[in-house]
Structure 1
Amino acid sequence: MQNNGLKKVAVLLLLWGSGVSSVAQGEGLPVINVTANKVVQAEEEVPSSLAVIWGETLADAGASDIGDLARYTPGLSFQPFGQSGTSLPVMRGLTSGATTFSSSVLMLIDGVPVVSGQGFDHNLLGVERVEVLRGPQSTLYGRNAEAGVISLHTRQPDEGPYAEMEATLGSRDLTSLRVDAAQPLVPERLYLGISGEWRQQDGFVENLTDGNEADDRQRQSGRLSLRWLPAKDTDVTLRYGRLDYRDSAAPWGRAESKSRRVTSVDPGSNDSSGDDVSLDVRHALGPDLTLRSITARREIRDRVTQDTDLTPAQRFAVGRDQRLTTLSQELRLERQGDEGQSRWVLGLYGDRDDHQLQFEQRNPMGTQRSEATLEAENLALFGQWTLPLGERWRLTPGLRIEQSRVALTPRGAGQRSERWDDVTSQLALQYRLGDDDWLYARYAEGFRAGGFNAFSAQSDYPGYEPEQVASYELGIKGTALSQRLRYGLASYWMTIDDMQVQQVIQPGSVQITNAAAARSQGVELDIDYLLGGHWTLQAGLALNRTRFREFNDLSGDHAGHHNPFAPDISGRLGLRYDSPQGWYAQANLSGMSKTYLDAANRFSRPGHALLDLAGGYQQGPWQLGVYVNNTADRQYDAVGLLNGTIREYSPPREIGLRVGVSL
């Protein structure tokens, strides 16, 4: 019923959008320049499905973590997990498990890669825009971009000093204090930027044992950037970031309990943290030629305890104490080129993982502890070239040669290691229909790194091979109606081989294997429309069908089943009004279809639609805003995690009041 409703909304939107020529003419939508292909180009010129979300939209809606992006990006979702600091993204039907330490979607924060689900988070403070590039991008971005890329671009300090402070009060005793500021230290030479947040909120799952909420949240974060312009052609930025969680348990309950109540002596805690430091250097070798180097170190401390039977007996529980460290270096040469000229990027990339892993599981038979060291090294040479073929045609080939090595050393056992060589390619052909309208066809390959089962019940800690993707995409994008309408429409078909899946080896024992193959196909639509009279409409729809071609384990034959965590339908419809008098109002309706939680398709999260509202007013330096998320207080619990035993409760309605000042 809900799926049919989403389809009707999409059809009505397309019909309505095609008949808007009677709207009074005025200024069109601004040109959006993006760096999705590691060179600056207009959004319409990128031969891939691409969505851009503005930081202002996210801030006005009270968005506070990376999971909130899903409400504004059809085709992007996150697996139900419930623990802050760990997010497992889903795009085009492709997913990854937390124990692979390798994500199927790459996140970049000002160019710094985030390659695993642990640490896949950001508080969105100071973000100017988010570029979400859908589909395999492994040629430019490597092993963790087989399904797409999420690229966050934060505000950079420059000659214009600014200081913004904001306080938010809201539901369940929400209290948030934020600051974002920058100041030139030496005019035209040295700039300092600083931002920070303190946030806490009571949970919504009542623990009947002590009368308190089981899932309280508290977070502190800070970022520092120092930008230096030593010469006219050189730009150097040093960044440091820190993020700490002091949370209680995940919002979990027993699968049969709908009441958001548990009875646990100690539900659990999350004391995870992360920090990163990076050095970003740009040097112009000529008018169109730039050399760029990004050096980074990220360390994630994943420290979690969680009761998993959520009864006074506490017979089942898990615990993690993991330190994940990644060093990365990218060096690339970029040629921008003017209109009608070729553009290219050529680069070297390398990274090294050094992970210290510790996992503990308690059951009625006792407590099992596993410890291991996981090391990985990757080295790649990549390039991509956009070549004009006459006035209307463009050809963009790309190639990446990558070598990776993974070594696992379990405590008390010998080391296991494996090495892989991967070559990925892409080829895009574009045809210019008009000034800003492009038709494109793209073939792209993607892959996700192989590894070992660090916490396997089997003594040989079996390994698994890289996952391979081949994608074919057709699309059209551009502007219409005197640039008041920006559109993008893409259709794709993908094959996934050596698919990394969680397989039941024996009752009570699961591990990652390459036991499956699948096909994924779908359509993605994005629309921005300037209605006139200060109204803006944004809409999107993503249809995806990902099904196993083959997959067998002890729980049965899963051929034809949905890939877990991948919805068939997701969409959004957003409307915003910006008044000349300084006030604004926005509404966002987002939704997705039923999502299965296991390969047998026995457990699921229901389809749902969420309405978020926001409004505010600015007078001089002062700003006042209010938002209401999940306005209808819709409950859409994920029922059946951990082999059918756990229900992840969906968050209830949240109301927030924001007060800010700009200095």
Structure 2
Amino acid sequence: MPFPLRWPAVLALAPLAAAAQSQTPDAALPVITVSVNKQAESLDAVPASVSVFDGTALESAGVRGLDALSAQVPGFGFQAFGQSGVQPPVMRGLTANFVSFSSSTLLLVDGVPTLMAQGFEHNLQGVDRVEVLRGPQSTLYGRNAEAGVVSITTRQPGEAPYASASAEAGNQGQRAGSFELGRALVPGQWYLGLSGEWRAQDGFIREQGTGERVDSRERASARLALRWTPTAETEATLRYAQQRWDDGAAQWGSISAPRATVNSGTSSWNRSRGQTLSLDVSHRFASGLKLRSITARNVFDDRVLQDTDFQPADLLHVGRDYRLATTSQELRLEGESQALGGARWLAGLYLDRDDHDLRYEQRLPAALMRPTAALQGSTAALFTHWTIPLAERWTLAAGGRIERNRVKLAPMGAAAHSDDWTRFSPKLSLQYQWSPQAQVYASLSEGYRAGGFNVFSPAMGHAPYGPETVRAWEIGAKGRLAGQRLRYAASLYTQQVRDMQVQQMGLPGVVYITNAARARSTGADFELDYVLGSGWQLQAALGLNRTRFGAFRDGAAVYDGHRNPFVPDLNLHVALRYDAPRGWWAQAAVQGTGKAYLDAANSYRRPGYGLLHLSAGYAEGPWEIAAYLRNAADRRHDAVGYLNGQVVVYSPPREFGLRLTWRM
């Protein structure tokens, strides 16, 4: 088996999914409304694989980032990277390296896209809900949603005031504080929402000479929402969000050194920043049509200096000073067609522009290179989606998107390169609602990721790589049983991937993208949320995936039949929670992940692992105190051989702490 269940499990703060955890004991699971198809609809009626998490439940259980959340989602995870603020996602066998400046999974925060691994993070504080939609979603969301979408909706301020504050302390010098508040400034018209968090932790990797810890972590974030409702039909929300990191070295080391030690002559650090400004305006016309516009500016400053040889002399290191800026505009109109039996439809226009300033630094034994480049891109797309009732229990959903992408690379001191691609991405699903609480469905969809250039590979002539395309078939079933106390979902899928973009690594810091001829990804997702009764609640998720290259030649190397790097064959999550009548609760969760290779040759890997997390708390009135223990057995799952065998990415050790929260 790829994941040995006999291993001691990690005690992870793994909350129950929103549907189970946010309810009182023995209550029926509620009807959950989602917007994964950019229209409000019941989770039970969506013909797709969707996981939904309630923000309050995530906050109570201490899930404070997308990496922790991903452990609860079938077929979803992140590459082992070890640097804050840069998280290349992995979903259903598809992933993208950060050097491609694109991602195979799209992150949306209040409709604002993050299109690459840089900035693919959120602390999940001040969140209303998180929706994770798996499978190609290029029809509605474009080129960076070929594997799926993570959509975060933050809490919207309204008439009812709310406030909370939290303080936390734990081992390894953990300390944190956060707050959130919302209230009406002018009742019926103006509302304000604010939230912020600061979190710091000492490192666990020690410098051999001094004994000092070199990988300390510090993160801060703040968000503001100003909402205006001049009429019952119109509202506008101005949002600003900022996140910053002030870290020491990456959680890296030499494969030949004692674990969690370095002997480095280079002072490594990460001082990255992210900022987002957006305006979200919607209006409902008397005819029932709804118009929505989302205008956004998303900027991420990726600033890192990192040793890669871990020697007293400064022989090898890499540095990044990138400003990654994307301006986007989406305009969409939705309504119903009585001529088609009440069919719901949506049509939209999407535009974006990338303006990236890239300054890279690479120290080699013989030279210090500092290449600079400007990378620009643009997208223009038209899309539509229709949900059409065919008969009493049958529904057809169909959509399409025509998208044009342009990329221009201008390296300093070299000739510019440019290319463009146009792609039509369709989607079709057929759904049979065989009972009011259950359905089966089948879908066909296509995904797409644009090509690009190897920005910092002058020896290769900044070689281009082509678009990656995916065609996916999926069948699934979902519903509720046991008096509405059990929700289940299961799906089987297969994906044909052509011209797969695969990362290759030479010397440390020398990473390039090339196209594999083809690959296939097949798998299954299973989810279960069950209110057992007498205060007990259960959540389980299982993802199985097999992604293999069909034909892949890279020079003289032959990788036919090899696994796609960073993709495990299995991930598992099981959580059990008990809520006592007198306000205390306890929770245990097991998390498991299969082995994942780190290169196309499948020479280096991160082993499969199992983790166990525990937490417990007591609530009295507005106060709650909680204790947590993550990775209770202190299991290690280091990624050994990153950067073509040069680096090990260390897994973090056991963590424990206390959290005190006040909520109004």
TM tier, smaller: over 0.9
Q: Which moved more, 1:100-109 or 1:498-507?
A: 498-507
Distance 1:99 1:336 in 2: 43
Which deviations, in whole Å up to 9, do the C-alpha atoms of 1:462-487 show, x marking residues without a partner?
21111100000010111112211111
* 1:474 paired residue number: 475
* 2:465 paired residue number: 464
After TM superposition, give the deviation of residue 503 of structure 1 in Å.
Answer: 4.1
Alignment of 1:476-491 (within 5 A): 476-491=477-492
Work out whether residues 61 and 612 of structure 1, in 8 Å CA contact, stay in contact via their aligned partners in 2: no
Q: 1:36 is paired with a residue of what secondary structure?
A: coil
* 2:427 paired residue number: 426
* 1:584 paired residue number: 585
Distance 1:534 1:114 in 2: 39
* 1:171 paired residue number: 171
Distance 2:418 2:79 in 1: 29
Distance 2:105 2:336 in 1: 26
Query: CA 1:317–1:504 in structure 2 vs 1: closer, same or farther (change >3 Å)?
Result: closer
* 2:45 paired residue number: 45
Query: CA 1:236–1:55 in structure 2 vs 1: closer, same or farther (change >3 Å)?
Result: same
Query: CA 1:560–1:86 in structure 2 vs 1: closer, same or farther (change >3 Å)?
Result: same
* 1:237 paired residue number: 237
Q: 1:185 is paired with a residue of what secondary structure?
A: strand
Work out whether residues 60 and 627 of structure 1, in 8 Å CA contact, stay in contact via their aligned partners in 2: no
Work out whether residues 253 and 648 of structure 1, in 8 Å CA contact, stay in contact via their aligned partners in 2: yes
Q: Tell me the amino acid that sits aligned with residue 174 of structure 2.
A: L
Work out whether residues 340 and 388 of structure 1, in 8 Å CA contact, stay in contact via their aligned partners in 2: yes
Q: Tell me the amino acid that sits aligned with residue 163 of structure 1.
A: A
Distance 2:315 2:427 in 1: 51
* 1:22 paired residue number: none
Q: Which moved more, 1:149-158 or 1:55-64?
A: 55-64
Alignment of 1:488-567 (within 5 A): 488-503=489-504, 510-554=511-555, 556-567=557-568
* 1:183 paired residue number: 183
After TM superposition, give the deviation of residue 210 of structure 1 in Å.
Answer: 2.5
Distance 1:290 1:331 in 2: 11
Query: CA 1:262–1:336 in structure 2 vs 1: closer, same or farther (change >3 Å)?
Result: farther
Distance 1:151 1:28 in 2: 26
Distance 1:52 1:127 in 2: 12
Distance 2:497 2:109 in 1: 28
Distance 1:376 1:540 in 2: 38
Query: CA 1:168–1:375 in structure 2 vs 1: closer, same or farther (change >3 Å)?
Result: same
After TM superposition, give the deviation of residue 244 of structure 1 in Å.
Answer: 1.1
Which deviations, in whole Å up to 9, do the C-alpha atoms of 1:192-249 show, x marking residues without a partner?
0000111111011111222211100111111000011011101111000111111001
Check if 1:354 corresponds to 2:355: yes
Q: Tell me the amino acid that sits aligned with residue 95 of structure 2.
A: T
Which deviations, in whole Å up to 9, do the C-alpha atoms of 1:573-609 show, x marking residues without a partner?
0112223322222222111111111111110001011
* 2:445 paired residue number: 444
Query: CA 1:342–1:546 in structure 2 vs 1: closer, same or farther (change >3 Å)?
Result: same
Check if 1:391 corresponds to 2:389: no
Q: 2:256 is paired with a residue of what secondary structure?
A: coil
Query: CA 1:555–1:257 in structure 2 vs 1: closer, same or farther (change >3 Å)?
Result: farther
Work out whether residues 164 and 661 of structure 1, in 8 Å CA contact, stay in contact via their aligned partners in 2: yes
Identical residues among aligned pairs (%): 50
Which deviations, in whole Å up to 9, do the C-alpha atoms of 1:290-329 show, x marking residues without a partner?
1111000011000000000112123110000000000000
* 1:12 paired residue number: none
Which deviations, in whole Å up to 9, do the C-alpha atoms of 1:1-37 show, x marking residues without a partner?
5635399x9xxxxxxxxxxxxxxx9642111111011
Q: Which moved more, 1:66-75 or 1:105-114?
A: 66-75
Question: Is there any run of 5+ residues in structure 1 with no aligned partner, and where?
Answer: 10-24
Distance 1:653 1:294 in 2: 42
Distance 1:596 1:26 in 2: 43
After TM superposition, give the deviation of residue 57 of structure 1 in Å.
Answer: 3.6
* 1:129 paired residue number: 129
* 2:625 paired residue number: 624
After TM superposition, give the deviation of residue 562 of structure 1 in Å.
Answer: 0.7
After TM superposition, give the deviation of residue 53 of structure 1 in Å.
Answer: 2.0
Query: CA 1:31–1:47 in structure 2 vs 1: closer, same or farther (change >3 Å)?
Result: same
After TM superposition, give the deviation of residue 110 of structure 1 in Å.
Answer: 1.0
Q: 1:412 is paired with a residue of what secondary structure?
A: coil
Alignment of 1:404-423 (within 5 A): 404-423=405-424
Work out whether residues 200 and 218 of structure 1, in 8 Å CA contact, stay in contact via their aligned partners in 2: yes
After TM superposition, give the deviation of residue 286 of structure 1 in Å.
Answer: 3.7
Q: Tell me the amino acid that sits aligned with residue 308 of structure 1.
A: T
Distance 1:633 1:373 in 2: 44
* 1:72 paired residue number: 72
After TM superposition, give the deviation of residue 516 of structure 1 in Å.
Answer: 3.2
Check if 1:638 corresponds to 2:639: yes
Distance 1:448 1:90 in 2: 14
Question: Is there any run of 5+ residues in structure 2 with no aligned partner, and where?
Answer: 10-24
Work out whether residues 104 and 147 of structure 1, in 8 Å CA contact, stay in contact via their aligned partners in 2: yes
Work out whether residues 254 and 645 of structure 1, in 8 Å CA contact, stay in contact via their aligned partners in 2: yes
Work out whether residues 501 and 516 of structure 1, in 8 Å CA contact, stay in contact via their aligned partners in 2: no
Q: CA RMSD in A?
A: 2.0
* 2:403 paired residue number: 402
Q: Tell me the amino acid that sits aligned with residue 91 of structure 2.
A: M
Distance 1:286 1:579 in 2: 49
Distance 2:513 2:29 in 1: 47
Check if 1:597 corresponds to 2:607: no
Which deviations, in whole Å up to 9, do the C-alpha atoms of 1:404-424 show, x marking residues without a partner?
110000001122111111100
Alignment of 1:20-419 (within 5 A): 27-286=27-286, 288-335=288-335, 341-419=342-420
Q: Normalising by structure 1, report the TM-score.
A: 0.95
Q: 1:144 is paired with a residue of what secondary structure?
A: helix
Q: Tell me the amino acid that sits aligned with residue 298 of structure 2.
A: R
After TM superposition, give the deviation of residue 256 of structure 1 in Å.
Answer: 3.0
After TM superposition, give the deviation of residue 120 of structure 1 in Å.
Answer: 0.7
Q: Tell me the amino acid that sits aligned with residue 529 of structure 1.
A: Y
Work out whether residues 386 and 399 of structure 2, in 8 Å CA contact, stay in contact via their aligned partners in 1: yes
After TM superposition, give the deviation of residue 265 of structure 1 in Å.
Answer: 3.0
Work out whether residues 136 and 471 of structure 1, in 8 Å CA contact, stay in contact via their aligned partners in 2: yes
Which deviations, in whole Å up to 9, do the C-alpha atoms of 1:76-109 show, x marking residues without a partner?
1100111111110000000101111000000010
Distance 1:657 1:56 in 2: 18
Distance 1:505 1:588 in 2: 39
Distance 1:340 1:531 in 2: 40
Query: CA 1:337–1:58 in structure 2 vs 1: closer, same or farther (change >3 Å)?
Result: farther
After TM superposition, give the deviation of residue 533 of structure 1 in Å.
Answer: 1.3
Distance 1:327 1:511 in 2: 26
After TM superposition, give the deviation of residue 60 of structure 1 in Å.
Answer: 3.1
* 2:14 paired residue number: none
Q: 2:5 is paired with a residue of what secondary structure?
A: helix
Q: Which moved more, 1:504-513 or 1:352-361?
A: 504-513
